[in-house]
Structure 1
Amino acid sequence: MSDHLHPPRKQSTRPERAQDMRPKPDYSPRFPGAGRLTGKVALITGGDGGIGRAVAVAMAREGADIAIVYLNDHRDAEETVRLVETEDRNAIHIAGDVGQEAICRNAVNEVVKTFGRLDILVNAAAEQHEVVDFTALSAERLEEAFRTNVFGCFFMTRAALQHLPRGGAIINTTSIMQYRGGACEGYPTMTDDAATRGAVVAFTRSLSTLLIERGIRVNAVAPGPVQTPLTQPGAEQAGCAPMGRPGQPNEVAACHVFLASDEASYMTGQVLHPNGGGIVAL
């Protein structure tokens, strides 16, 4: 099922579609499922590729039905649905720009209409703009980054909260940029991305406190360099990780699954750091 809720804008910052990447990132869950998310429904933004796709497949293996929201890579979205279905779970894909509030409301409504419930929200959609000269970073590009990376989290969360039950979980995706300020070797040109990721961490911590009484946990994951269509880290970026290599999406997705499950029932307002060994400050 695919619903075009809004004419998708063209995002020039995506270097490749997931289907075109060579070598292909590893999206497959690394271990058998244990039913940790049986009976749950998860909505994942940015689920057409990268970390979002790996999260979708990993949660499906743990028993969840999946809905993904994506911008405009229809073939990639269909591949994510296919991978979820190989895990014997149901999946839908919904096209739209999460930076538009109406898109987020309609997407959540479609999920609830299709599956009858919503238990888990994963905000993984993101964009970034590499600008060598900071003074050349236009207001338009800056607004685009915040609209997708920050406003998208706000809009989707606000829509989802009408349906998330006690025991529900929200997992936001931030980045090592928030902690390194974009200054890690190989990443000196991502000032806008660092700013948006910092906002996501602050949003996560504040919202977690607000939702404690409702029994909804809010956490985040801050990956280091990961092989995805958005980032495609090269040798310099991979060098930021003490392990000396970029991570694979399935190595990050395990964090999202854990935070969505009852295993993380005593965790809220926290950030996990699958970054290849980088020590970060709070």
Structure 2
Amino acid sequence: MTIAARALPTSLSLEGKKVIVTGAASGIGRACAFAAIELGASVLVNDRDSLDEVAVDLRAQGGDVETLQGDLTEPGFIDKLIAKGPIYGLAHCAGILGRTPLHDLDDPRERFMETMDVNVRVPVDLGIALTDHMAENGGGAIVMIGSVAGRTGGTSLSTPIDYSASKGAVHVVIRWLSRRAVGKGVLINGIAPGPIDTPMTVGNTTIADKLPTGRKGRPDEMAWMVMMLLTPAASYVSGAILDCNGGSYVG
């Protein structure tokens, strides 16, 4: 199925659609789950941490919510997510950021490989599996979270090399998968946030001083960019990575 054949209306709505949100226990993922239900979607939230609190909060907002706690790196776990389908959309927000520089670790290779496993292999596996699933169910949309560190190499904000390299790879994954998916009626895009006020950046009190905006971004600001790319309003967007970084490039 081609994108043109879907004849989607231009609409900022996910009414009647089921959306998976990974990394939903906190940060951008949590914000995406709330934004998705506001747009009418039913949500399947995933995290390796407890989802009890976010599920209660989402249901208090009237959301149609399912939870599936678990580690996306575990063999067979992605199949468990897809079995909850049919799935229209994916907001893939799960990821890790080690705070200690690699050169200060006794075994830097261990963390480097863990970062690549979570931040790169999982998006590849999810993207391939969900593209096939969505193609069989009338099409869909996938949005992945990159980073300004993947654009700059992490040098502007002193981001660890493993995280920066992994997010640069995510940008490649988005473009590579989008080329495979677009002819099947599946749109794959991403956003590249700058520093966002999430648990990942807790304790970094100087980072906002380096930004023209003078502040970190908010998770909800990122979530609405993700939602736009999931909705039919972005029906002609494929392989794009939206920079959402508080003016990092012009500072």
Which runs of at least 4 in structure 1 moved beyond 6 Å after TM superposition? Answer: none
Residue in structure 2 matched with residue 269 of structure 1 by the alignment: 239
Q: Counterparts of 1:112-191 in structure 2 under 5 Å?
A: 112=85, 117-132=86-101, 134=103, 136=105, 138-164=108-134, 165-184=137-156, 187-191=157-161
> Structure 2: how far apart are the matches of 1:264 and 1:168?
11
Give the counterpart of 1:105 among 79, 86, 94: 79
Mean CA deviation greater in 260-269 or 96-105: 96-105
Residue in structure 2 matched with residue 60 of structure 1 by the alignment: 37
CA deviation vs aligned residue, 1:170-205 (integer Å, no higher than 9, x gap): 101011111121112xx3251100000011000000
Which is helix-richer, 1 or 2? 2
Over the matched positions of the two proteins, sequence identity in percent amounts to 29
> Structure 1: how far apart are the matches of 2:67 and 2:230?
20
Gaps of 5+ in 1: 1-33
CA deviation vs aligned residue, 1:24-60 (integer Å, no higher than 9, x gap): xxxxxxxxxx861001000011011100000010010
Gaps of 5+ in 2: 1-10
For residue 240 of structure 1, report the CA deviation from its aligned partner: 3.1
> Structure 1: how far apart are the matches of 2:98 and 2:78?
23
Amino acid at match of 1:241: L
C-alpha RMSD over aligned residues = 1.8
SS at match of 2:144: strand
> Structure 1: how far apart are the matches of 2:19 and 2:48?
18
Residue in structure 1 matched with residue 6 of structure 2 by the alignment: none
Q: How high is the TM-score relative to the length of structure 1?
A: 0.79
**Larger relative contact order, structure 1 or 2 (CA cutoff 8 Å, min sep 6):** 2
SS at match of 2:217: coil
Residue in structure 1 matched with residue 5 of structure 2 by the alignment: none
Q: How many residues align?
A: 237
For residue 163 of structure 1, report the CA deviation from its aligned partner: 2.2
User: Retained in 2: the 8 A contact 1:225–1:233?
Assistant: no
User: Retained in 2: the 8 A contact 1:66–1:84?
Assistant: no
